[in-house]
Structures are given as C-alpha cells and as structure tokens.
C-alpha cells in the first residue's frame, strides 16, 4: 500500500516570495508521484508528475518538484508566488496499481 | 479529447432521499474510471473504481453504490442519503494504458444533504 503525507494544511506567502509545499510518500515499490491544484468549486488539474528518469520535474505555471528517494519526499516549489497561485494543492502517489492515493491537501493563500 | 461530463453540477437533497450522480467520459474506449469524494476540510477519499463495464471495486463500505452500465458511463447512487453524504463528488479517468498514468478529473458535483 502507498500513501502520502502533506506537511501543513495551510501555507501563507507574500506575493513574489518562494512557495514551498511539502509532501512525503510511503511506498513499498518505486512510486509514481503527482501534484494537483484545485481552485474553488472546480476539479483537480495536474501540475506535474514524476514517473522515472530526471528527479527534478517541471510543471505548469512555473512550479517544479524534486523526487528525493533517500528522503521519501516530493516537495513542490515555485520561486515567486503570484496571486493566481491561491488554491488548494494535493500530492498523490501510485505504485502501478489501479489507485491513486491523495494527501489531505495544502491551502495556499497569497498576500499582496 | 479527455472531457468528463458530470451532472448535476449542484444538488440539494433531503435526508433519506435517493441519489444519482452521472459521469460520462469522451475519448478512448475502456477507460479506468473513479469516484472520489471531498468532504469539507478533508482530502480526497476514493469511493469506487471501475476497470470495465459491470466491474466495480468499492474502497469504503458505506451508503453509496456505483454502476457502470456502458463503457463511458459511471453512475454513483444511493437509496437513502445521510447527512454525512454531503460533499463534492469528483469523477476521474486514468490517462494512458498503464496503471502509472495520472487521473484526469471532471468539474465535480456538489451535494448538500439537509
């Protein structure tokens, strides 16, 4: 079985500051990892994914994440926050079965 | 196209009433389909998934059921709603042919049980 833990249910950043959202995973086999974003009353949109290969993954809207096997982490970052980044973010993991397991989510607020 | 249609978009139902949420997928045939629920302040809970017509796997024993009468149709139902069934219901399909692909989500159906 696989699972993810997102550290921090709420993150508040100033516009232009670094965004860092933390995700740690647990998996008995090599994981496939994902970050999604959800805006109010909408479905989830894929930001980026890690399958195999390069451990630094670049996604949409300037986000990137780094897979660190030794730390079982897949933290999401963006160098400079924009007001439009205010949303809820979910980390997810699958291990080549039918299911994706999601974290509890982190809500990001951006201060002007 | 990976369009997923969910309806109704919003629904307010009394306790004890029945429920039917529909999800229709456009695109490739024989997709893996999923129902997730988001309750207020909680993450995504996988309710059901289906790998083909008539094949349903239930993740959480509860008041809900799912059916897949056609290849691209996935229905979530209840005979008698509970207050705890309130939430945001998301239908999703797996992209790609393998089990390592990401999920593509519909826009959701918001259910309020009063």
Give per-residue pLDDT as tens, B8-59.
Answer: 999 999 999 999 999 999 987 888 999 999 987 778 999 999 999 999 999 8
Q: Which residues contact A9 (CB under 8 A, 6 or more apart)?
A: A104, A105, A106, A107
Decide if A99 contacts A43 (C-beta within 8 A). no
B5: closest CA among B88, B104, B91? B91
B40 touches chain A (CB under 8 A): no
Q: Tell me which residues of chain B, numbers 60 to 89, contact chain A at a CB-CB cutoff of 8 Å.
A: 88
In this complex, the residue of B100, B102, B105 whose CB is nearest that of residue A43 is B105
CB pair distance less than 8 Å for A43 and B107? yes
Q: What is the mean pLDDT of residues B75-97?
A: 91
B77 confidence band (pLDDT: 50, 70, 90): very high
CB pair distance less than 8 Å for A103 and B43? yes
Q: Tell me which residues of chain A, numbers 6 to 65, contact chain B at a CB-CB cutoff of 8 Å.
A: 32, 34, 41-46, 49, 51
């Amino acid at each position: 079985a696989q699972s993810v833990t997102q550290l921090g249910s709420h993150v508040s950043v100033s516009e232009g500051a670094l965004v860092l959202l933390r995700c740690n995973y647990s998996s008995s086999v090599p994981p496939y990892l994902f970050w999604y974003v959800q805006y109010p009353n909408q479905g989830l949109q894929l930001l980026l994914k890690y399958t195999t290969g390069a451990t630094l993954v670049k996604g949409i809207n300037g986000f990137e994440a780094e897979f660190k096997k030794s730390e079982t982490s897949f933290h999401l970052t963006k160098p400079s926050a924009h007001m439009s980044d205010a949303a809820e973010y979910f980390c997810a993991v699958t291990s080549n079965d039918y299911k994706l397991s999601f974290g509890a989510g982190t809500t990001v607020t951006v201060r002007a | 196209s990976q369009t997923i249609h969910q309806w109704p978009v919003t629904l307010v139902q009394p306790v004890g009433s029945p429920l039917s949420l529909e999800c229709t997928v456009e695109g490739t045939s024989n997709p893996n389909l999923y129902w997730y629920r988001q309750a207020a302040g909680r993450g995504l809970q996988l309710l059901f998934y289906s790998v083909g017509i008539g094949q349903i796997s239930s993740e959480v024993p509860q008041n809900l059921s799912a059916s897949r009468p056609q290849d691209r149709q996935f229905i979530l139902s209840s005979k008698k709603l509970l207050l705890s069934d309130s939430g945001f219901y998301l239908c999703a399909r797996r992209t790609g042919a393998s089990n390592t692909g990401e999920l593509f989500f519909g826009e959701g159906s918001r259910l309020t049980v009063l």
